[in-house]
Chains A and B, each alone.
Chain A
Amino acid sequence: MQKKQKTPLLLAGMGVGMFAFGFALVPLYNLVCSVAGINGIATASNQAFISASTVDYSRKVTVEFDSTLNAGLPWKIEKPANKLKVHPGETHNISYRATNMSDKAIEVQAVPGITPWQATEYFKKTQCFCFDTQTLAPGESREMNIQFIVDPDIPQQYKTITLSYTFMNTDRSNT
Chain B
Amino acid sequence: MSEVATHDDHHDHVPSGIGRWLFSTNHKDIGTMYLIFSLVMLFLGGASAMVMRMELFFPGLQIVDPDTFNNLVTNHALIMVFGVVMPAAAGMANWMIPIMIGAPDMALPRLNNLSFWLLPMAGIMLILSMVVSYLPGTGGQVNTGWTLYPPLSVQAGMGMDFVIFTIHILGISSILAAINIVTTIVNMRAPGMTWFKLPLFVWSWFFTGLLLIMIMPVLAGGVTMLLFDRHFGTAFFDAAGGGDPVLFQHLFWFFGHPEVYVLLLPSIGVLGLVIPTFSRKPLFAYKPLVWFMAMLTALGMVVWAHHQYTIGMSLGVTTYFMIGTILISIPVGMMLMSFIFTMWRGSMTFETPMLFGIAIILMFSFAGVTGVMLAVVPADLQYHDSYFVVAHFHYALIPGALFGLYAGVFYWLPKWTGHMYDEKLGKIFFWWTTIGFNVTFFPQHFSGLAGMPRRIVDYSPQFAEFNFISSVGAMAFGLSHLLFLYIIIKTIRGGEKAPDNPWEGSQIGTVGLEWNLPSPPPFHSFTTPPTIK
Contacts and interface: CB of A to CB of B under 8 A. Distances in A.
Interface string A1-39: 001100110011011111101110110011001001011
A70 B239 CA distance: 11
Contacts of A8: 107-108, 179-180, 183
A19 B250 contact: no
A29 B239 contact: no
B179 A22 contact: no
Given A7-B187, A8-B107, A22 B222 contact: yes
Interface stretch (A93-101, A144-152, A165-173): A165-173
Contacts of B225: 23, 26
Contacts of A121: 314
A53 interface: no
Contact of A111 (B240, B251, B313): B240
A153 to B, nearest CB: 15
Contacts of B244: 29-30, 33, 39
Given A36-B314, A109-B241, A170-B240, A22 B221 contact: yes
A26 B236 contact: yes
A39 B247 CA distance: 11
Q: Name the residue in A12, A17, A19, A22 with the highest tally of chain B Cβ atoms < 10 Å from its Cβ.
A: A22
Contacts, number: 93
Interface size classification for chain B: 35 or more
B247 A109 contact: no
**Chain A contact residues: helix, strand, loop or mixed:** helix
Given A25-B250, A26-B247, A29-B250, A19 B240 contact: no
**Chain B contact residues: helix, strand, loop or mixed:** helix
A7 B182 contact: yes
A117 interface: yes
Contacts of A168: 238-240
B214 interface: yes
A111 B239 contact: yes
B182 A19 contact: no
Interface residues of A, number: 36
A117 to B, nearest CB: 4
A95 B464 CA distance: 51
Contacts of B314: 36, 38, 121
Contacts of B221: 19, 21-23, 25
Contact of B217 (A18, A29, A108, A172): A18
A7 B183 contact: yes
B119 interface: no
A109 B240 contact: yes
B374 to A, nearest CB: 21
B216 A21 contact: no
B215 interface: yes
A28 B454 CA distance: 32
B312 A117 contact: yes
Contacts of A4: 107, 187
Interface string A52-78: 000000000000000000100000000
B213 interface: yes
B81 interface: no
Interface in B219-259: 219-222, 225, 233, 236, 238-242, 244, 246-247, 250-251, 254
B247 A11 contact: no
Given A7-B182, A15-B175, A169 B240 contact: yes
11 contacts: A11-B179, A15-B175, A18-B213, A19-B220, A19-B221, A25-B218, A26-B225, A29-B250, A38-B313, A39-B246, A168-B240
Given A109-B240, A172-B238, 17 more contacts: A8-B107, A8-B179, A11-B178, A11-B213, A15-B213, A22-B217, A22-B219, A22-B221, A22-B251, A23-B225, A25-B254, A29-B250, A33-B244, A36-B314, A111-B239, A118-B315, A169-B240
Interface of B: 107-108, 175, 178-180, 182-183, 186-187, 209, 213-222, 225, 233, 236, 238-242, 244, 246-247, 250-251, 254, 312-315
